[in-house]
């Protein structure tokens, strides 16, 4: 019925059914049928039928005065939203984890800013999980699937976790030859990796371990720094230690065992249309992830 009311307003504004049909690119018969349907629903004739002149009935005048401004406001808002939904310019508010954004994803942010200079990227970094809806963010990057049913999410990539230690630590404490030997070593634990769900990538054997931590922290980057300082052994995402592995200040141990994968998701509110800017960022990151072996769950060559 709302669509038929809007059609009636257009008929009045264009002073006739034929003119309204031409403007709206609708068959004249469709316009006539929908006007008749509206009149039948409200039980009143709205327009005097005459080939020579266009006049509203008393009921038609009342209807037009009641709805004309509302229809105009609705259509103006719809046009504005449609424009914003398709423009690759303006503000784009994004939430993302600090550690991975400052490390592995930093080149992605720079590349996106250079590729789309008209998009004003408002990037809010925080290792705590901020509420995407309450912060009115357009989109967020999250580690792990989100349980909130009010969110849409799309997996972009995955990162393996591996067991690492500093050569200095291993030279003084010895390198564990099997998983059981880990109980004899100092373990640096991270709160969100309390269970070591390990998998042998050659035999596919799986083992759950609950190591007794000698140090526990709530920040993965800080844990990797402690490992570099030869404080102990840790299970960490490759994304956090790839530079140290390449430089030789850390090394992977107990290969081919590796820990649980950490999936990376793009997340946005289910009740909000994803704008062209947000879609652009999501697709840009998906392509970037597909080109990086580490972000596809692969490791660093042994």
Write out the residue range of the structural domain in which residue 122 sits.
Answer: 97-154+266-295
Per DSSP bridges, beta strands 234-237 and 161-165 are: antiparallel
Tell me, yes or no, whether 252 and 271 share the same domain.
no
* 176: in domain: yes
What CATH number is given to the structural domain containing 27? 1.10.10.10
pTM for the whole thing?
Answer: 0.66
Question: What pLDDT digit, counting tens, does each position of 110-151 carry?
Answer: 999 999 999 999 999 987 777 887 888 899 999 888 777 778
Contact partners, residue 302, CB within 8 Å, separation at least 6: 252, 255
| Structure token digits, residue 25 | 């690119």
Tell me, yes or no, whether 246 and 281 share the same domain.
no
- Matching residue, tokens 């030869």: 230
> For residue 207, what are the CA distances in angstroms to 190, 197, 199, 200?
18, 6, 6, 9
Tell me, yes or no, whether 149 and 277 share the same domain.
yes
Question: What pLDDT digit, counting tens, does each position of 74-119 carry?
Answer: 776 666 555 555 678 889 999 999 888 988 899 999 999 999 999 9
* 38: in domain: yes
* 91: in domain: no
* 302: in domain: no
The predicted pLDDT at position 151 comes to 83
Tell me, yes or no, whether 6 and 35 share the same domain.
yes
Tell me, yes or no, whether 245 and 210 share the same domain.
yes
* 247: in domain: yes
């Amino acid at each position: 019925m709302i669509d038929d009311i809007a059609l009636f307003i257009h008929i009045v504004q264009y002073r006739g059914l034929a003119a309204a049909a031409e403007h709206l690119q609708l068959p004249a018969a469709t316009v006539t049928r929908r006007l008749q349907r509206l009149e039948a629903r409200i039980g009143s004739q709205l327009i005097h039928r005459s080939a020579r002149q266009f006049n509203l009935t008393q009921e038609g005048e009342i209807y037009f005065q009641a709805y004309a401004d509302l229809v105009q406001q609705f259509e103006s808002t719809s046009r504005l939203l449609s424009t914003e939904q398709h423009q690759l310019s303006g503000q784009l508010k994004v939430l993302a984890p600090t550690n991975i954004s400052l490390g592995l994803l930093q080149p992605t942010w720079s590349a996106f800013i250079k590729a789309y200079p008209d998009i004003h990227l408002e990037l809010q970094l925080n290792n705590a999980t901020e509420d995407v809806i309450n912060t009115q963010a357009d989109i967020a990057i999250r580690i792990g699937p989100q349980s909130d049913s009010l969110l849409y999410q799309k997996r972009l990539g995955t990162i393996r976790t591996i067991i690492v230690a500093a050569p200095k630590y291993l030279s003084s404490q010895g390198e564990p030859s099997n998983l059981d030997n880990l109980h004899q070593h100092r373990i640096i634990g991270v709160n969100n990796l309390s269970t070591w769900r390990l998998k042998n990538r050659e035999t596919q054997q799986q083992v759950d371990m609950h190591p007794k931590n000698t140090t526990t922290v709530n920040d993965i980057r800080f844990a990797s720094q402690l490992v570099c300082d030869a404080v102990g052994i840790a299970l960490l995402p490759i994304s956090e230690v790839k530079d140290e592995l390449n430089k030789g200040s850390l090394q992977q141990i107990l290969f081919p065992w590796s820990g649980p994968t950490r999936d990376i998701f793009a997340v946005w509110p289910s009740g909000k249309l994803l704008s062209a800017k947000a879609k652009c960022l999501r697709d840009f990151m998906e392509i970037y992830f597909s080109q990086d072996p580490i972000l596809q769950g692969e490791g660093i060559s042994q």
